[in-house]
Amino acid sequence: MTNSEHLPLHGRTALVTGVSRRRGIGYAIAARLAGLGADLFIHHHRAHDTGQPWGGDDLDEVRAGLRAALRPGAAFGDLGLDLAGPDAPERLIAAARDLTGSLHVLVCNHARSGGDGSLLDMTAEKLDGHWSVNTRSTLLLTSHFARVFSGSEEAPAARPGDRRALSGPLDEHATGRVFWTTSGQIHGPMAGEVAYAASKAALAGLTATAAAELLPLGIVLNTIDPGPVNTGYLDPGSTDRDPAVIGQVLAATPFGRFGHPSDPARLVGWLASDEGRWVIGQVITTDGGFSLGVGR
């Protein structure tokens, strides 16, 4: 079996953001990409988790677990950073590129949770806090990634309606990958999470535009809605939600369980490989049928 078959991401460097906890989606995605042969750079911001009901994790254990998932000889790096800072995305992309000198995959898994509310008690601070982390930093990370991947430091000026023309057929085996993450606001209301839902809805709504702008540069972008994945926030001892409601929702899920972090990780791993190269500009839900309302 060749490296391309057994390790389809061999020779590619991946940056995964929001990898602070071993139970998190970011950790599962990073481990999946590492197992597929990628060199790996992760971003974490433990201070965010320590302020949540589920708490923070031991970053040394996070690093050790991901190093163990790497192929022999693969490179690994990490950086702790608050992505709310305006210059943080550029710093992170530069650090990830320096790991191997190139960057091929970007997974924007990070998100701000907590400090939210309903429309009636919304404030500018709540909206700006979620926007800066969930939306603005994702767009800037993608912009800086595109410059690094394409080798184009100067972005051409663009007017509304301008589209970058393809210079010729793309090498479909050499395309970069970008993944954004959205949430359940595309399927129904998220009561009490207006700032979070707004920041994630912006990414889902912008997916087609961003994908169209990136494709001429040889970059494939898709957005993932992982559905309700239990990363600890649905456990009885560490949830910020009504346990009775959690039980009702769980009983109505088609497979009798919430998602595991490995569920969206498998999808991202497939899309990051050559096998997924024909899927472009889509908002993809991977939730085990939860959004269909089966059993409710």
pTM metric for this prediction = 0.94
Q: Pick the catalytic residue: 180, 196, 233, 258?
A: 196
195-208: per-residue pLDDT in tens?
999 999 999 999 99
Q: Residue 295: is its pLDDT beyond 70?
A: no
247-284: per-residue pLDDT in tens?
888 888 899 999 999 999 999 999 999 999 999 999 99
Q: Residue 96: is its pLDDT beyond 80?
A: yes
Measured CA to CA, the distance from residue 221 to residue 199 in angstroms comes to 18
Q: What is the pLDDT of residue 1?
A: 41
Token readout for 236 is: 């009885």
Q: What is the pLDDT of residue 236?
A: 80
296 band by pLDDT with thresholds 50, 70 and 90: low
Q: How many CB atoms lie within 10 A of CB 92?
A: 25
229: DSSP letter: B
3-state secondary structure of 152: coil
30-50: per-residue pLDDT in tens?
999 999 999 999 999 999 999
Measured CA to CA, the distance from residue 167 to residue 115 in angstroms comes to 46
Instruction: Name the residue with higher pLDDT: 218 or 250.
Output: 218
Q: In the chain, what percentage of residues exceed pLDDT 70?
A: 96
149-190: per-residue pLDDT in tens?
999 877 666 788 888 888 889 999 999 999 999 998 889 889
Active site annotation includes 233: no
Q: What is the pLDDT of residue 152?
A: 82
The mean pLDDT value for 7-34 works out to 98
Is the CB of residue 234 less than 8 Å from the CB of residue 192?
no
In which residue are the tokens 């535009």 written? 209
Q: Helical H runs in the chain? A: 3-6, 25-35, 46-50, 59-69, 88-100, 124-130, 137-150, 194-214, 243-252, 262-272
Q: What is the amino acid identity at position 263?
A: D
Is the CB of residue 209 less than 8 Å from the CB of residue 283?
no
114-131: per-residue pLDDT in tens?
889 999 999 999 999 999
3-state secondary structure of 156: coil
The mean pLDDT value for 93-122 works out to 96
